[in-house]
Amino acid sequence: MIITSGRKVAFSVGVVAALLGSSAIAETIKWGAPRDIVSLDPYSYGDSYTINFLNHIYEGLVRYNRDLEIEPALATEWEIVSPTTWRFKLREGVTFHDGAAFTAEDVLASLERVSDDSSPLKGNLPAYKSATVVDDHTIDIELTGAYPLLLNDLTNIHIFDKDWLVANNAEKPTDVSAGVEGYATFNTNGTGPFKLESRTPEAQTILVNYEGWWDEPAHNLTRIEFQPIASAATRVAALLSGEVDFVDSAPVQDLPRLEAAPNVSVLERTDLRTVMLGFNRRDELVGGGENPMNDLRVRQAMQMAVDMELIHDKVMRGKSRNAGTLVAPSIPGYSEALDTPAEYNPEKAKELLAEAGYPDGFAFDFVCTNESYVNEEQFCQAIASMWSRVGLSPKLDIGPTAKQTPKRANGQADVYTIGWATLPMLDTYSILVQMLHTKEGNSGVFNWGGWSYPELDKLTQSASVELDRDTRLQMETDALEIARNELIMMPLHQQPMAWAISSDIGDMPQFPDNKPRMWYVTK
């Protein structure tokens, strides 16, 4: 075939490029988010939303795949050299966005930075003691003790370039108390699939495809425009008018309207977050007087008085999943045998209360927030009225999270709501050590009721150093069983989550941890 005109050549090249789906075609995704990220520095603020967004720019040694299983990322393999030492082989040929090569020095600098005393993310790598560079692509991580969940933690520890940190005087995380800004707050240099083009806080953050990414891209995006739109109604309007292609927080009440719109589709599922109620277990109630909730029968009565089916149908519009245990089905350590929701039996609830010596019920504070969980205000009101029906007198106290959290954390709540998704660890151990364990030392930070079950503590401690996965998960399941039998927490449901996308997006996998991962998205 003899081609005579240059235009024809250009034309056929264009056709071929289009057929091959080459990156010559600009695919922009406009993301309308409920809030802005707080900073470009992943170690600045304990905020998983920000950390996830920055995962498009920065990467960890390991990452979650489409099924939320851990797979190699910047590390290719690892071995446990001794109970407290893990050796990681690092991927070769990885370059940062500024062209610098990725080596073990970078990992060391990043681990030191995230574990610094002034780092708010220190708790994300709790077992870290030190790290030693073996050679350019091998590093040993030394832990404070045997610890099975290091990989889970490392999924969230983003790796910086050491030279870049040093050159910009950012080896240490920004310390708010010092009152001085840090370079990494405004600039980035990662190894991830996208690199930063520009950021205007509260207005727009633009990422573009990084051509030099080490992995084979599953996405075909050339540009991500991330725009926070705080007002839910405005966010939905922007999607309907085509100004954004994707919203990662669609209000439950607007879903029918979004589903009816021709250019929009809704992605729904239940979240990993299990919403539950906690009980005050100190000797006295907040308002004074003896605390009836230390009696298991009272707690059971309170559970039986609540009609979760009704809440599921009416308050959650059929979108939630009622729970019998404290973790969602996909969390390691979950057991189906424990996951039957409690029966609704108001008559028996009254009997139990009478049996425990409270035939006329008792008054207590019930602390909820108006924004932490999906439709929280409504389900709290529903639960309060159900309790009133069996003779209890809950004093419902609803307010913003920032206002309610100190009350709950300081034991100023008799019954309170709390949701737990086990993030970023994705393992039952997280809820055991943080919430169910006795409050002592670094454990039980979220044990807001002041309970203590030595047997559960023992199982948790054994699990924390058990390197055999199956044995460890069995221990965790046993601990969950104690929690269920003793009704330490009263599980309600896994809350629904909804994303909405414009119809010209091809593939958008939705993850139960409610984190959008654009490197899987095609348009």
Partner 1 sequence: MLAFLIKRSANAIFVMLSVSFIAFMIFRFVGDPVELMLNEQATQEQRDELRTRLGLDQTFIAQYGTFVVNAAQGDFGISFRNQQDVLAMIAERFPATFELVIVATIISLVVGIPMGVITAIRRQTWYAETMQFTSIIGVSLPSFVVGIGLILIFSVWLGWFPAFGRGDTVQIGWWSTGLLTHSGRMSIILPALSLSLFQITLVMRLVRAEMLEVLRSDFIKFARARGVPARILHFRHALRNCLMPVVTMTAMQIGGLIAFALVTETVFQWPGMGLLFIQAVTFVDVPIMAAYLCIVALIFVLLNTIVDITYAMIDPRLRGAEK
**What residue ranges bind partner 1 (CB under 8 A)?**
35-36, 38-39, 41, 44-48, 117-118, 120-124, 126, 174-177, 179-182, 185-186, 200-204, 227-231, 233-235, 237-238, 240-243, 400-406, 409, 420, 423-425, 430, 434, 439, 441-442, 445-446
Least distance in angstroms from the C-beta of 244 to partner 1: 9
Nearest 5°: CA angle at 517, between 515 and 519? 175
Q: Locate 224 and state its tokens.
A: 């991500």
CB of 447 to partner 1, least distance (A): 10
Write out the H or E segment, with its range, that includes residue 474. Answer: helix 469-485
Q: In angstroms, what is the minimal distance from the CB of 256 to partner 1?
A: 16
Taking the C-alpha atoms of residue 396 and residue 523, their distance in angstroms, rounded to an integer, is 47
CB of 359 to partner 1, least distance (A): 39
Contact 120, 44 (CB under 8 A): yes
Closer residue to partner 1 (CB): 258 or 304: 258
Q: What is the CA radius of gyration of the chain?
A: 25
Closer residue to partner 1 (CB): 210 or 420: 420
Distance, CA of 328 to CA of 336 (rounded, Å): 10
Instruction: State the nearest-atom distance from the C-beta of 274 to partner 1, in Å.
Output: 13
Give Cα 497 distance to the centre of its chain. 12
Confirm if 514 and 269 have CB atoms less than 8 A apart.
no
Interacting residues of 131 by C-beta distance below 8 A, sequence separation 6+? 107, 108, 111, 112, 139, 140, 141, 142
User: What angle is formed at CA 349 by the lines to CA 345 and CA 355, rounded to 5 degrees?
Assistant: 145
By beta-carbon proximity to partner 1, the closer residue of 184 and 456 is 184
Amino acid at 141: I
User: Distances in Å between the alpha carbon of 158 and those of 62, 152, 285, 512?
Assistant: 10, 13, 44, 21
With respect to partner 1, which residue has the nearer C-beta, 95 or 372? 372
- When the beta carbons of 270 and 443 are compared against partner 1, the nearer one is 443
**Looking at beta carbons, which pairs linking 101-107 to residues 24 or more positions away fall under 8 Å?**
102/74, 102/159, 102/161, 102/191, 103/136, 103/137, 104/133, 104/134, 104/135, 104/136, 104/137, 104/138, 104/139, 105/133, 105/162, 106/159, 106/160, 106/161, 106/162, 107/61, 107/74, 107/131, 107/139, 107/159
The four Cα atoms 180, 185, 187, 188 give a dihedral, to 10 degrees, of 130
- Which residue lies nearer to partner 1 by CB, 93 or 179? 179
Nearest distance in Å: CB 235, partner 1: 8
Q: Provide, rounded to whole angstroms, the least separation between the CB of residue 95 and partner 1.
A: 28
Cis omega before residue 424 (within 30°)? yes
Reduced to 3 states (helix: H, G, I; strand: E, B; else coil), residue 79 is strand
For partner 1, the closer of residues 54 and 423 by Cβ is 423
Whole-number minimum distance, CB 181 to partner 1, in Å?
A: 5
By beta-carbon proximity to partner 1, the closer residue of 200 and 340 is 200
For residues 254 and 266, the answer to whether their CB atoms sit within 8 Å is no
- CB count within 10 Å of CB 93 equals 9
235 or 319: CB nearest partner 1: 235
CB of 273 to partner 1, least distance (A): 11
Q: How far is the CB of 259 from partner 1 (least distance, A)?
A: 16
Q: Which is nearer to partner 1, 49 or 210 (CB)?
A: 49
